[in-house]
A and B are shown apart, each in its own frame.
Chain A
Amino acid sequence: MDWRWDFTFDTVLPRILPGLWVTVEVTFLSFILTLVLGLVLMLARRSRSRIISFAAGEFIEFMRGMPLLVVIFFLFFLLPEVNIYLAPFWTGVLAMGIYNAAPAAEIMRGGLQAVPKGQWEAAHALNYSTYRTWRNVILPQAIGPVVPGLGNLLILAFKETPLLSFVAVPEMPDAARRIASETYRFTEPLTVVGILFLILSLASALLIRLVERHMLTENRYAK
């Protein structure tokens, strides 16, 4: 096995770095969608309407039992059938956003359930409005336990992005494969991709740790 530094710096990095940017963009955009949809799903599941809560519950179960690749293919090939045309990039954001919304909803539901019933009753007895109850009593207590779970989901999302190469989203492994098929050199592109993924995962793990630490100093009550 030989390793060529000139090839690595002159050919591989310049072509893979844009892919890195795509990976980061897809991950963060889809994660925002995941958080919003997850919140909606979680609230729907807690809805007093049996139909809404049942539908949300079934959707979550359905998504949990489905491979992400199937969801990506589904959106990529079937949305055009109903005359919705999205660029591969946005199909990827949508697919990952929807796919991860299901576990996000469950994580958020767990956080909410961890707040004792007495806290709702205290807020009620102190005459808090619905907004104040959520904003000043429930959410500050529910967010803490939810951060590690959602953080894991973010790291998982990074690692899921290579699946998008199946629908020609130009993220990192996709760029690596193109270089390899043109030059017949696999070592440098794949190693570079591996190292970049490692850096991304470590960076996001560090970010999550910082957020957790921040929450802990905010909420010293956790003892």
Chain B
Amino acid sequence: MPNEKIRFEGVTKRYGALTVLDKLDLSINEGEVVTIIGPSGSGKTTVLRCLMTLESIEDGVIRIDGEPLNMMERDGTLVPASTGHLRKMRRKLGMVFQSFNLFPHLTVLQNCAEPPVLALGVKRDEARKRAQELLEMVGMSDKHAHYPAQLSGGQQQRVAIARTLAMQPDILVFDEPTSALDPETIEEVTSVIRALAVKHSYTMLMVTHQIDFAHDISDRICFFDKGRIVEQGPPAAVIDAPSEARTQQFLSKVAQAR
């Protein structure tokens, strides 16, 4: 029985009258690669944002390693999490954004070396060394002195992945990592993510519109619509032979677009 790493229990998120996540239950095991697919506005990205505590949730609990994220236990009851608790829990999480969000005033190397120093208290020399190794891994070490504005989208996203890894998370969250990229540069990013999924034991949760890529690297696909999981299972089932009509409809639309 593998360890459960992340668990959403009845998570509900509303924006005013609009329910974006409707009593979501989702469990992800250690080392598992789970990809969420589905139409725009179905709440896919919101799942990631709630996990990253970028959004608050109205109801339910998110657990990481069994421990509540948005709440904490005090005297046997659950109370809203303190800043300290949130920071402790977030240490396990790393996020890669659709729009990279690199720090434009820092060089590539500083982007990867500064966060561990400032947020984890890692020694400067050590952080630099580790950042150099990570940039090597994503194939960006020759650009270490460049600023983000001098790089292509694909290069920026590879740096952003290195920056996320520099924080030594156990869970990697990818929010449409290739959606803002030119078609030619998508491959350089997906190959980095593929290497992380295959060679390393990260638990990964990803949202993407690249169905083939999702099929390739995922252990499990969740098809999302209107804030609910319509269908989930291994790619061979959900993508190749979907059983729900809504999933079939979505995938045939995507296939047509290709």
Partner of A221, one of B118, B120, B148: B148
Name which of B54, B94, B99, B105 has the most chain A CB atoms within 10 A of its CB. Answer: B105
Give bound CA distance, A219 to B104, whole Å: 9
Q: Are B115 and A121 in contact, with the CB atoms below 8 A?
A: no
Q: Are B54 and A124 in contact, with the CB atoms below 8 A?
A: yes
Using an 8 Å CB-CB cutoff, how does the interface string of A98-141 with B read, 1 for contact, 0 for none? 00000000000000000010110110111111001000110011
Name which of A118, A129, A141, A221 has the most chain B CB atoms within 10 A of its CB. Answer: A221
What residues on A are CB-neighbors of B52 within 8 Å?
Answer: 124-125
Size bin of chain B's contact surface? 20 to 34
Give bound CA distance, A10 to B177, whole Å: 75
B130 adjacent to chain A (CB < 8 Å): no
Whole-angstrom distance between the Cβ of A46 and the nearest chain B Cβ: 19
Given A125-B164, A221-B148, 17 more A-B residue pairs with CB atoms under 8 Å apart are A118-B97, A118-B101, A119-B101, A119-B103, A121-B97, A121-B101, A124-B53, A125-B54, A125-B94, A125-B97, A126-B115, A127-B87, A128-B118, A132-B119, A140-B105, A222-B149, A223-B147
Instruction: Give the interface of A toward B (CB within 8 A).
Output: 116, 118-119, 121-122, 124-129, 132, 136-137, 140-141, 219-223
Instruction: Give the interface of B toward A (CB within 8 A).
Output: 52-54, 87, 90-91, 93-95, 97, 99-105, 114-115, 118-120, 147-150, 163-164, 167
> What would 26 A/B residue contacts be, using CB atoms closer than 8 Å?
A116-B101, A118-B101, A119-B101, A121-B97, A121-B101, A122-B97, A122-B103, A124-B54, A125-B52, A125-B54, A125-B90, A125-B94, A125-B95, A125-B97, A126-B163, A126-B164, A126-B167, A127-B91, A127-B115, A128-B119, A129-B119, A132-B118, A136-B118, A140-B105, A141-B104, A220-B147
